[in-house]
Structure 1
Amino acid sequence: MTGTTARRGLRLPLAWSAPGFPRLAGAWVATNLGDSALYLMIAVWVKELTGSDIAAGFVFVALGVPAILAPFIGMMADRMPRRRLLVINNAVLVPVLLSLLLVSGAEQLWLVYAVMVVYSAAGYVTGSAQSGIIRAMLRDDQLASGNGVLSTIDNALRLVSPLIGTALYVWLGAPAVIVATAACFGVAAVVVAGLPVGAAAPVREARRGYFHELAAGFVQLFSPQSLRVVTIAVAIGFGATGLLNIVVFPALDAMHADPAAIGVLVPIQGAGAVLGGVLSATLVTRWGEGRTAALGLLLVAAGSIPWAFGSVVAGAAGMFVLGLGIPLTVVAFATLRQRLTPDALQGRTGAAANVVINVPQTLASVVGAALLAVVDFRVLIWVSVVAVVLGAATALLARRVALVQPAAA
């Protein structure tokens, strides 16, 4: 369903026939296998080390801080050979993550936050470099399929990684999860080293001044009408979900559930996201990026509502619906951005896209963490729902841009 082609009697995603794409997908498996387990474990670990919902919530704030470096990271991805950058990035994460083994109590909480900042910055590097590699690897008609496959991999691992991470955490403690995650990034470094594209640095555009070049990714995001509208919609919708990151643990308390229960609920979100990833390319192709992004945001809003009612069963159902919506919006946005952006700007535009999502999300998390002390968490959920619906309505205003079809053989 993510755009298919026949090969030896099997129907494979259209992007799978592109040289190097299966290897890229393999690297994506390795990084996301570790990432999904670590992402959840860190917040639970901080909660147990400190007993504080706010301290746990600030893990997500730390993850958002590197957004201020994104323009510089994007420029680096447009100047360096992107394959080499991915290898270095994954390799450096190994010792950085292993430094978490030094944490033994709340006194070292600063180290957890510091590692999360570096870890998040590395995510920006991956996103910026990989955007250019995908664009160089895939034709226009393969982009939605490729993004759908990568989204499906990402979210399918939410079904198993949190369970593995939770089991390791309960059985062997945080060090086991940390070592496993570091090993995954080491494997990814080896795999991406063999990619057939990205060996040479992108061709640079004419020099127009350092700050102009630094901001070029943002300029590109807001130049084409369709890309501008979807960017604004995603910034509003996904930005508002920063409030949901903060209310997770109070909501679990209201459900009388242990904080570690998040390791069970997130795989349910992953089940919905797998379905969303599988459907995403078909919907983008038939409906266009704007309408697909709008549908995804509406599903995110609908899936957030049950968390306001203090029921584990309702919360689990909401996680499935929320998971279904996220990849629809992500794939639609990524495909439109990659299609309309020149190769020389892929890194900066990819980084800028992360900024317009993560900065509002981080600000919402900061405000939410402050308000959590004086406002009932349910109020924050309803504010998030209203904002996400507003984002969906905005996405519907985007004009559809035709695909560039491959030349006939």
Structure 2
Amino acid sequence: MTDDTATAENDVGTNREALAVRPFRRLAGAWVVSNFGDSALYITAAIWMKDLTGSNSAAGLTFVALGLPALFAPLTGQLADRFPRKNVLVVNNFAAAAIVLPLLLVHDSRLLWLIFVSIFLYANTGYLTAAAQSGLIRAMLPDRLLAPANGLLSSIDQGLRIISPLIGAGLYALWGMDAVVLLTAACFLATGLVLVTLQVDEPAREPDPDETFWRRTTAGLRFLTANVRLRGPLLTVFICIAATGMINAVAFAAIEYGVHKPPEFISVIVSLQGVLAVAGGLTASRVIKFVGLETTMAAGVGLSGLAIALFATDSLMLFCLGSCLLGLGITWMIVAFVTLRQTETPHRLQGRVSAAANLAFNLPQVFTAAVGASLLGLVDYRILILATTLACLLSMIPVLRGRRRTARGAPEFSQKS
């Protein structure tokens, strides 16, 4: 690594500097509002489905409807790259508000299909928001402020995931699902109105050299796997996120047989993880400033591996400590990877590369959760946890190897396209 590139990587701004940029401050405010509505809906919808049908399977299918749009992420990424991203975000938030309103028509199990259709379409808007927002942040901020900006948005997301589901469940208990739907629609409508006022100079659209629809759609995935600096970190994230899927599957067994708590104790674990995830978002830029992007990723993965190992103990204190460390480690890893991806990706590909990365984040988690659930009846949950720990720690190798290759001469940060 040259002195210039080392200096560039260590030139990381602060959270305060990122918030001093007026367009980003407005975008962050809009993110608070939209995430509040989103977090209030996604858990409450599953509770509602359970009440309508009395079926745990039907409630679980709600999460399937929320997760399936990951398969279409390359298409949503192409939308984010084809049109001005501010306009995409505005239209998308207005669309999300309209998409959830048909849920007001559902009062019994005869219209279950409408719930699944609405939830599926609604989940697609989330992937489009992620793809368009990533490119917009890249356009409005210099490289040195990307890490604190991503950390702040992550903290907002994680913080609202602690608070909003409780508010959504409370509204549902008091006034029914209509109140939750109207709250969510109002949040997305307000977000769209805030984003209309956003002033940002986006770079001019560049011609796309990929002529066929297939090549344009897969351009993001091909860029991720071909870029020397992104290839190793992508593999690291893929493996580590897949490991968290296994933990999701064995969590209830670990709570029941390990620390001997009722299933409801999962809410405490999720809250602890969320609090430290907020802290991880707020501190990520400072860690990146001192040790760099890839090393921050490796540190996050290492913390996550240690955290997962603690879930195999019967100590309540260590179990809770594991939840805290997992929230911190995963957040450091994600913030560092997203910042690295943004800096390495040309402007014309920001949406598609972001969408491809989201696909790599979500699908392995779903797969390993299914595998873990099927193995629980055959294998002791502690063996699954220790195997997951080993996989997570081994996933540090690709990012550290990539770091060494970069140090031998590959450019640390690309210029904006």
Counterpart in 2 of 1:206?
A: 209
The equivalences for 1:168-207 within 5 A come to 168-197=171-200, 202-207=205-210
What is the Cα deviation at residue 307 of structure 1?
Answer: 4.3
Counterpart in 2 of 1:130?
A: 133
Q: What CA distance in whole angstroms lies between the structure 1 residues aligned with 2:375 and 2:109?
A: 23
Distance 1:277-1:203 versus aligned 2 partners, 3 A rule: same
Q: What CA distance in whole angstroms lies between the structure 2 residues aligned with 1:263 and 1:162?
A: 11
What is the Cα deviation at residue 31 of structure 1?
Answer: 1.6
What is the Cα deviation at residue 18 of structure 1?
Answer: 2.9
Match among 280, 288, 292 for residue 284 of structure 2: 280
State the identity as a percent: 42
Q: What CA distance in whole angstroms lies between the structure 2 residues aligned with 1:301 and 1:44?
A: 32
Counterpart in 2 of 1:402?
A: 412
What is the Cα deviation at residue 298 of structure 1?
Answer: 2.4
The equivalences for 1:183-332 within 5 A come to 183-197=186-200, 202-248=205-251, 255-257=260-262, 259=264, 262-308=266-312, 315-332=319-336
Q: What CA distance in whole angstroms lies between the structure 2 residues aligned with 1:104 and 1:314?
A: 44
Q: Is structure 2 residue 360 aligned with structure 1 residue 356?
A: yes
What is the Cα deviation at residue 316 of structure 1?
Answer: 3.9
Which sits farther off after the overlay, 43-52 or 236-245? 43-52
What is the Cα deviation at residue 381 of structure 1?
Answer: 3.9
Counterpart in 2 of 1:118?
A: 121
Q: Is structure 2 residue 140 aligned with structure 1 residue 147?
A: no
Which sits farther off after the overlay, 78-87 or 333-342? 78-87
Distance 1:65-1:158 versus aligned 2 partners, 3 A rule: closer
Counterpart in 2 of 1:70?
A: 73
Q: What CA distance in whole angstroms lies between the structure 1 residues aligned with 2:176 and 2:377?
A: 30
Deviation sequence 1:229-262 (CA, Å, 0-9, x none): 0011101111232233344555566554354x55
Deviation sequence 1:193-212 (CA, Å, 0-9, x none): 22212678732233433322
Distance 1:283-1:180 versus aligned 2 partners, 3 A rule: same
What is the Cα deviation at residue 363 of structure 1?
Answer: 2.1
Gapped regions of structure 1 (runs ≥ 5): 6-11
The aligned length equals: 398
SS of the equivalent of 1:197 reads: coil
What is the Cα deviation at residue 287 of structure 1?
Answer: 1.6
The equivalences for 1:78-89 within 5 A come to 78-89=81-92
Which sits farther off after the overlay, 234-243 or 93-102? 93-102
What is the Cα deviation at residue 190 of structure 1?
Answer: 1.1
SS of the equivalent of 2:82 reads: coil
Q: What CA distance in whole angstroms lies between the structure 2 residues aligned with 1:253 and 1:331?
A: 33
Alpha carbons 1:61, 1:365 under 8 Å: kept: no
What is the Cα deviation at residue 141 of structure 1?
Answer: 1.1
Alpha carbons 1:297, 1:325 under 8 Å: kept: yes
Q: What CA distance in whole angstroms lies between the structure 2 residues aligned with 1:241 and 1:66?
A: 20
Alpha carbons 2:17, 2:145 under 8 Å: kept: yes
Match among 339, 342, 349 for residue 343 of structure 2: 339
SS of the equivalent of 1:20 reads: helix
Q: What CA distance in whole angstroms lies between the structure 1 residues aligned with 2:271 and 2:386?
A: 24
Alpha carbons 1:62, 1:116 under 8 Å: kept: yes
Alpha carbons 1:235, 1:360 under 8 Å: kept: yes
The aligned amino acid for 1:304 is I
Distance 1:88-1:373 versus aligned 2 partners, 3 A rule: farther
Q: What CA distance in whole angstroms lies between the structure 2 residues aligned with 1:146 and 1:194?
A: 20
Alpha carbons 2:70, 2:362 under 8 Å: kept: yes
Q: What CA distance in whole angstroms lies between the structure 1 residues aligned with 2:312 and 2:375?
A: 16
Alpha carbons 1:79, 1:201 under 8 Å: kept: no
What is the Cα deviation at residue 24 of structure 1?
Answer: 0.5
Q: What CA distance in whole angstroms lies between the structure 2 residues aligned with 1:309 and 1:44?
A: 31
Give the TM-score, by structure 1 length: 0.85
The aligned amino acid for 2:190 is V
Counterpart in 1 of 2:163?
A: 160
Q: What CA distance in whole angstroms lies between the structure 1 residues aligned with 2:326 and 2:145?
A: 26
Distance 1:130-1:94 versus aligned 2 partners, 3 A rule: same
Gapped regions of structure 2 (runs ≥ 5): 1-10
Q: What CA distance in whole angstroms lies between the structure 2 residues aligned with 1:101 and 1:306?
A: 44
Deviation sequence 1:178-222 (CA, Å, 0-9, x none): 332222222111111222126787322334333222221112112
What is the Cα deviation at residue 392 of structure 1?
Answer: 2.7
Q: What CA distance in whole angstroms lies between the structure 2 residues aligned with 1:301 and 1:234?
A: 13
Q: What CA distance in whole angstroms lies between the structure 2 residues aligned with 1:210 and 1:186?
A: 32
Which sits farther off after the overlay, 267-276 or 154-163? 154-163
Counterpart in 2 of 1:8?
A: none
Alpha carbons 1:75, 1:348 under 8 Å: kept: yes
Q: What CA distance in whole angstroms lies between the structure 1 residues aligned with 2:364 and 2:162?
A: 28
Which sits farther off after the overlay, 318-327 or 223-232? 318-327
Distance 1:46-1:388 versus aligned 2 partners, 3 A rule: farther
Distance 1:183-1:247 versus aligned 2 partners, 3 A rule: farther
Q: What CA distance in whole angstroms lies between the structure 1 residues aligned with 2:241 and 2:170?
A: 30
What is the Cα deviation at residue 277 of structure 1?
Answer: 0.7
Distance 1:370-1:58 versus aligned 2 partners, 3 A rule: farther
Counterpart in 1 of 2:6?
A: none
Which sits farther off after the overlay, 149-158 or 333-342? 149-158
The aligned amino acid for 2:209 is A
